[in-house]
Amino acid sequence: MNPVYWLAIVAVLIVVALAALFVIRSRGNALPPVEERPRLTPAAPAQAEQPLETAITAPATAAEAATALEVPEAPASRLVRLRRRLAGSQNALARGLADLLAHDRIDEATWEDFEATLITSDLGVGPATELTSALRKRLAVDGVVDPAKAHDVLREELIQLVGPQMDRTVHTVGATGPDGDDVPGVVLVVGVNGTGKTTTVGKLARVLVAEGRTVVLGAADTFRAAAAEQLTTWGNRVGVETVRGAEGADPASVAYTAVAAGRDSGADVVLVDTAGRLHTKTGLMDELGKVKRVIEKIAPVTEVLLVLDATTGQNGLTQARTFAEVVDVTGIVLTKLDGSAKGGIVVQVQRELGVPVKLIGLGEGVDDLAPFDPVQFVDGVLGD
């Protein structure tokens, strides 16, 4: 045979051998067989759902329960920790003061700008005008303003506007029931859905637990299925029982059962979450009125807290008016003040309803609810 053919055959054999070798090696490095891979993929969603399920499931043993429970932060230190969230250049009140002080001489137009800035802080027209004229009276000597004095005077006047003398106690101490027995304090929490009502009930339960009180939660927002689930999770984290009904159950009956459970177990406080639909005012009036009446067959409602979202400004005020017509609101919880440059809403809502702000929400963290303190609040807003 022609040597060229021999050479060609040898070359072909070498190529085939190399190709076979390459295939064998690459099989050795291959990923695990396809059927093994799906085991990893579902693990992610399963893990994401895990905390919710485990939180709702009651711990098997007392020892397990003790280790699983969280210890909430004591209320006194909260506003100090959260104060920074009120400050910042976004804040209209602080900005108004800074603008005012940026002028060497203050003329009429500058005062007008100052007043306009106060109005944009949601302070309301009345309080903004009052504050401006108080500052004008106390500050302007020949149109010249001393910055340090201006700051101190604004601080003093703001504290006065916020109302340091108002009683901001959240009334949670039980009185005597209609049958003459000892009953828990009952806090009814109302407000439009999305304002942070359920979250507030959960956070408030933590405040009370931190104070050493025993608490029962009533999930009377039976309209939104997730609300009862959400509340149970909050309760379980701090070892608090949650009474809930079936989806769409009568809210008044759930509230009644919760208060009865609190009375029977000798709890100190029952917190009742309610639904907040505003479609028809009559429906809301009937529902909330009934919830309160039915609860009071067992125990007086010691506090009605209205939850308002601080970022909704004027809209929030309209909601507040509607609720105040429906139930006797005794305290306001302003949520999402961390996301709002409009701390002035505190003043406006108190004037509007004649009811004090008692608690403020300053974040989504479990302990980001603080008792409202006018001095700390004003210092936070002014960035002091």
Q: Which residues bind ligand GDP (CB under 6 A)?
A: 191, 193-199, 227, 335-336, 338-339, 361-364, 368
Give the nearest distance from C-beta 201 to ligand GDP in angstroms: 8
Residue from 9, 360, 19 nearest 204 by CA: 360
The DSSP code for 73 is: P
Distance from chain centroid for Cα 226: 16
Is the CB of 68 or the CB of 366 nearer to ligand GDP?
366
Cβ proximity of 358 and 305 under 8 Å: yes
Residue from 92, 21, 149 nearest 381 by CA: 92
For residue 317 the two structure tokens come to 């005020």
The DSSP code for 42 is: T
Is the CB of 260 or the CB of 275 nearer to ligand GDP?
275
Task: Give the DSSP per-residue string, 98-128.
Answer: HHHHT-SB--HHHHHHHHHHHHHTT--HHHH
Is the CB of 186 or the CB of 192 nearer to ligand GDP?
192
Give the nearest distance from C-beta 340 to ligand GDP in angstroms: 9
Is the CB of 197 or the CB of 292 nearer to ligand GDP?
197
Is the CB of 157 or the CB of 273 nearer to ligand GDP?
273
Residue 248's alpha-carbon distances to 1, 136, 241, 245, 288, in angstroms, are 94, 57, 21, 8, 15
CA–CA dist 254, 271 (Å, integer): 12
Is the CB of 135 or the CB of 284 nearer to ligand GDP?
284
Neighbours of 335 (CB within 10 A): 30
Query: Strand order of the sheet with strand 331-335?
Result: 241-244, 215-220, 269-274, 185-190, 303-309, 331-335, 357-361, 369-371
Q: Which residues pair with 376 in a beta bridge?
A: none
Give the nearest distance from C-beta 332 to ligand GDP in angstroms: 13
Give the nearest distance from C-beta 28 to ligand GDP in angstroms: 51
For residue 251 the two structure tokens come to 């809210």
Give the nearest distance from C-beta 72 to ligand GDP in angstroms: 16
Looking at beta carbons, which residue is closest to ligand GDP? 361
The DSSP code for 58 is: P
Give the nearest distance from C-beta 298 to ligand GDP in angstroms: 24
Give the nearest distance from C-beta 312 to ligand GDP in angstroms: 12
Cβ proximity of 155 and 382 under 8 Å: yes
Is the CB of 132 or the CB of 319 nearer to ligand GDP?
319
Is the CB of 106 or the CB of 243 nearer to ligand GDP?
243
**Phi, psi at 65, each rounded to 5°:** -60, -45
Cβ proximity of 215 and 265 under 8 Å: no
Give the nearest distance from C-beta 248 to ligand GDP in angstroms: 17
